[in-house]
Amino acid sequence: MRMLVKIFVLVLYVGLATVSVAQDFYVYPAKGQSQEQTEKDKFECYSWAKNQTKFDPMEMPKATSAPPAQEPEKGGAGRGAIMGAAGGAIIGGIADGKAGEGAAIGAIAGGLFGGARRSSQRKQDQAQRQQWEQQQANQYASARNEYNRAYVACLDARGYSVK
């Protein structure tokens, strides 16, 4: 399970890093600034925007919270069948002396209910994981947007056209 979480986080980081590279800007020296001055201004604006927003687009994205804990698996088809067989045998023995039939019916019913419960639990775990992933992506996008706004404002104030 831990390996799965590590793989997911790595995939999330790579995906988000790809998004950040796609958001590079074209910076045009509208007031005739030299290439050297443009590079200096871009770095100073990067530093200023990073300090203002506490976001560094050069860093690998980090999760802001731990992924949701997976519920320990409860029962399942096998365990449900065993429990159903035991219950069915007891009820069948008490009701009409047919413990074997009761056990078979109980095993089938218990297996079905146990399998359905485990499937439902897995779906719920998956939904929680997807919700967490979406939340992380939204938080990253919001922080990146704030950084972009600060970076563009800085360059604009220094006389650059930024698109």
- The count of domains in the chain is 1
pLDDT of amino acid 122: 84
Q: Name the H helices within the chain.
A: 2-21, 35-53, 77-96, 99-157
8-state DSSP, 70 = P
**Each residue's pLDDT tens digit in the chain (163 positions)?**
555 555 555 555 555 444 444 468 999 999 999 999 999 999 999 999 999 999 999 999 888 888 887 666 655 555 655 665 555 555 555 555 555 666 566 667 666 666 677 778 888 888 888 999 999 999 999 999 999 999 999 999 999 999 9
Q: Could you tell me the residue range of the domain that residue 41 belongs to?
A: 2-162
